[in-house]
A and B are shown apart, each in its own frame.
Chain A
């Protein structure tokens, strides 16, 4: 193998599994360390700089970081990264002074944002700071988009949402709210220097061809529309028996909301096997905690309507079959269809993009799947001054991806307005900071705690299902927050090896608790992985390979389960191992 190019910022970035997995590349270990030091404002700002909505995401993020967390590979459960983000948001004191100053003198460029969701708000934040003038259009009375209309208040209280949305609007965004943009051409013709479309995936899928759909229409609702209606109090109660169709997070929001509006007997019916449900595991758990039954492998056959009243639904029982390519099909078991009685049905079977406001002759090309043709890096459409982001760009994803798109689009728009090449993007900002204080002292707390993942404190069920405005999770208290923060392994503090000074004494090999360091003869990657002290079977994790040492051997470290405990560096007589904090900031508009 060739020596690892540790100068490439992506090498050490990848070692920080959580940060690498985060679409916005939030510096997770850094903010967790700040929480550990009770520096909540600093922890909040580390978050705010990259993910813009720490309080919101600390409650409703899809948490791609947690399955990636290294702790999950050595301990039973990963660090509760998402809930720690909330700790930063909950415990911070005033942070207004830390907010960037918005230039009084504008740079003369004007940007139009369509849709007031997280993607647009991120673009607004990144560009306001640089002196842009920003107009934001949304059809609702308040900005926030999906996270306001569809995420129920018992998961995300309005107060939290308002705080973080208003912080951006208060930078001086011109808001044009309650205004539905009917024509993109009209907006483009206003002469904006660039336009950003962040309109989400606003259309909930229906089951128009299922028998009884039309007859039972009064009792059948599209999930996301129904959730918005609940928010605006157009819907205040529901029938006692409610069926929710679908296995994603919207289904979970629907069933739990129904439970709070009078649904005593709420069931979620899923086509696929339970293991393949799209909803986050913790959201499924929360639903079940509220007595909601989840019935899998049931495909809807018809709505049963008697005398104009919906009485229930009929389902076909199926089982999954997998072909040689692992492709799944749902095959009927041949049993009698199942009738499940109900008073109301909520459809949460997916969301679709819709662009009725985009004229097809203004230069924006669409692909066969109905989505606009967009450069995946720059997010630019075929009409050069129009950019897309969030769910509107590539179909439904999640909030943190929308934020990441917002940053990329902001960056593209900034380059575009300066007449620069959009593909010539700035590099990430990278810094390396030695952590050594003395022979055995580190600037970071390298002790690896055995503490289990902390349970989050919740409001009593009896109380919370009475009122959809009561937030169910109370978050970590001070003690739990501190204990959980200590569980972080500090993967951003990198083990950096200098082959020039190594005397091959084996001290690091001997002390490493997880046997990840090896000194061995060189080989190709596959045989190398096989011959290590403990074979490196996790191919998603890199091998850190040094250049040749005096004996002709090389150092090979399997990054997979390194605890970043620093013992290799502590036991190294020549400081050939060093613990170096690696700071990585993904590029944003205005970054040099």
Chain B
């Protein structure tokens, strides 16, 4: 078995705007099962960070426990990382984000890590609209412990063991909208054409960008009876529309017909163009987004793409009005400015 990947890369590979090659965003070789959807998501993260010219040392990867939470080892090998306790990724991310607001936070979690053991943590990170990308690699089963149904397994779906899941499933996207996430999207590990631009939009979003990525477990949950198999997802997914993510300062090359196109200006000035399939759908309306999710479910379809965006969202730092400088850069004189400053403050209240 290969434990290393050859170091040779295509001689014609290009540098990005910051002068990095794509290989500068790669991690160690994956030890997940061959064909695992998670590996494709890792690659999509590599591609998105490369294309966005994110500096690898300005990224922190955070994860919990599970197959999905192993993946930060397989991308962005030159970035910071913290592998936390099961379900506790959001707390770690919150702490890190509070200490240094300047980094890009990529939190990776699974359906078990988020929808079961970490549900409470998940809810509160979303409420606070923490500035991070929260990616759930959702395979509907506990792959690391032999494939038991997880809380996102659809009712009636059956994995390798063959017993249909008797319980209702949690729709993480719907929940995320409910809980106050300001960017909600769903995608599929087998569709990088959709996933990479979604990740790029999430990177430029200010606030919590939640991505539910359906990622088939080839070993335990890629059966004909599973609703999270490659084949099922391909046959049943329905995108809210095709879209184009145009980073700031890039020329807009495509002409967009008014009416069916919705243009959303992101926090950093980038543009998200959504070519909608349905004219009346408005991705900035929470109510319409939840309706749309329910509607698709009724029709037996899986809604993918951008589901909800709040362009002018305020992240935790904005909400609690913290200092603009990262806390970890504040020294003694900043934190204890001395008795004169204290006297001045007190004077204000007299």
Contacts and interface: CB of A to CB of B under 8 A. Distances in A.
A506 B190 CA distance: 7
Contact of B34 (A516, A563, A572): A572
Interface stretch (A179-187, A270-278, A441-449): A441-449
A505 B34 CA distance: 10
A235 to B, nearest CB: 49
B251 interface: no
Given A505-B40, A506-B43, A513 B8 contact: yes
Contact of B35 (A516, A551, A574): A574
A49 B40 CA distance: 46
Contacts of A439: 1
Interface residues of A, number: 37
Given A440-B1, A507-B36, A448 B11 contact: no
Contacts of A534: 10, 12-13
A515 B34 contact: no
B236 to A, nearest CB: 13
A507 B8 contact: no
A441 B1 contact: yes
Nearest to A515: B10
B346 interface: no
B234 interface: yes
A515 B8 CA distance: 11
A573 B35 contact: yes
Contacts of B37: 505
Nearest to B36: A507
A498 interface: no
B34 A573 contact: yes
A74 B2 contact: no
* Overall SS of chain A's interface: loop
A550 B6 contact: no
B6 A572 contact: no
B6 A566 contact: no
Interface in B135-185: none
A450 B7 contact: yes
Contacts of A572: 34-35
Contact of B9 (A440, A514, A565, A571): A514
Contacts of A514: 8-10
Nearest to A576: B35
A509 interface: yes
Nearest to A537: B12
A507 B10 contact: no
Given A505-B230, A510-B42, A573-B34, A516 B10 contact: yes
B119 interface: no
Contacts of A450: 7-8
Given A505-B216, A551-B234, A561-B10, A566 B34 contact: no
Contact of B218 (A509, A551, A573): A573
B189 interface: yes
At the interface, is chain B mostly helix, strand, loop or mixed?
loop
Nearest to A563: B6
A59 B312 CA distance: 73
A74 B7 CA distance: 10
Interface string A155-166: 000000000000
A511 B5 contact: yes
A503 B39 CA distance: 15
B2 A535 contact: no
Given A510-B40, A550-B231, A563 B35 contact: no
B33 interface: yes
Interface string B8-21: 11111100000000
A95 B84 CA distance: 64
A75 interface: yes
Nearest to A510: B43
Interface string A70-97: 0001110000000000000000000000
Contacts of A566: 2
Nearest to B216: A505
Interface in A526-557: 534-535, 537, 550-551
The 10 closest A-B pairs by CB, nearest first: A573-B35, A440-B1, A448-B6, A510-B43, A505-B35, A506-B40, A573-B218, A514-B10, A573-B34, A571-B34
Given A447-B6, A572-B35, A574-B35, 5 more contacts: A74-B8, A441-B1, A509-B40, A510-B43, A535-B12
Interface of A: 73-75, 439-441, 446-448, 450, 503-507, 509-511, 513-516, 534-535, 537, 550-551, 561, 563, 565-567, 570-574
9 contacts: A74-B11, A439-B1, A446-B2, A506-B190, A514-B8, A535-B12, A551-B234, A563-B6, A573-B34
